[in-house]
Amino acid sequence: MAADEREGHNLLPGNTPAGAPSAPAWFKAVGRGLLRATGLYANWSLMTQGPLRADGWLRSFREGRAVDADGRPLPWITYPAIEFLSRHVRADWEVFEYGCGQSTLWWTARVAKVVACEHEAAWAERIRPMLPAGAELLHVPLDDAGTYAQTCARWPGRFDVIVIDGRQRVQCADAALTALNPRGVVVWDNSDREEYRDGYELLTAAGFRRVSFIGMAPIFNAKAETAVFYRDDNVLGL
């Protein structure tokens, strides 16, 4: 938070810095009254407390990148999905990701192995220097043969999680059936999009069930949806 933001934030009730004298009750009441009279109280509350601030949405909106309140990378999926995955992720997992970026950095900080597949060479080279030794980033251009989508199938039965958040998503779902281990799950971002219905139905026909996480995501002021597709006895305990 910038110094001027901190100054205005600390003047109002409930935000007195530790060790500083508390503002008089009348001063707090006047502050609330002025904000309400000008119609700004809701704005002030949203900016200074609650999930938009705590989850890092305000910072991500300002910076145009998926980060938490402290500037650490977040996946660019819905906050309910991030919260759920954060509670269940295990250090021994192996994850395959279609698309790379902040989410790749988030996963590599939490699991044993990450393999990411990216179709844009320039973006892959921008992300590559940020990755630790436990991550593998593959640049696989798009082609008519579906080479990009089939990339995860190079490792049959290996992955605990496959993240579908790139291109050719329906074909990626088909390849995921080969690359997932028996307890593995698929995390599918933008799962409200009708254009991917064939992929959802493909996973359902293969015995997967679906739970959808709907809510805001980093950066944009809109609701979105991220789904997890899972079978019995899965790594998430669903």
pLDDT band at residue 12 under the 50/70/90 scheme: very low
Residue 66 lies in a domain: no
Residue 133 lies in a domain: yes
Mean pLDDT of the chain: 85
Minimum mean pLDDT range among 127-136, 171-180, 200-209: 127-136
Residue 237 lies in a domain: no
- pLDDT at res. 197: 97
Domain shared by 184 and 91, yes or no: yes
Cα 10 to Cα 101: distance, rounded to the nearest angstrom: 35
- pLDDT at res. 25: 74
Taken in order 142, 144, 148, 154, is the CA torsion positive or negative?
Answer: negative
Q: Name the residue range of residue 186's domain.
A: 79-230
- Residue whose tokens read 């395959």: 96
- How much is the pTM? 0.81
Domain shared by 178 and 106, yes or no: yes
**With b meaning 16 or more CB within 10 Å and e meaning fewer, what string describes 95-129?**
bbbbbbbbbbbbbbeebebbbbbbbbeeebeebee
Domain shared by 222 and 131, yes or no: yes
pLDDT band at residue 69 under the 50/70/90 scheme: confident
Say how far residue 213 (Cα) sits from the centre of its chain.
11
Residue 17: is its pLDDT beyond 50? no
Residue 141 lies in a domain: yes
- 72 half-sphere exposure, CB direction, 13 A CA radius: 8
Residue 27: is its pLDDT beyond 70? no
Residue 185 lies in a domain: yes
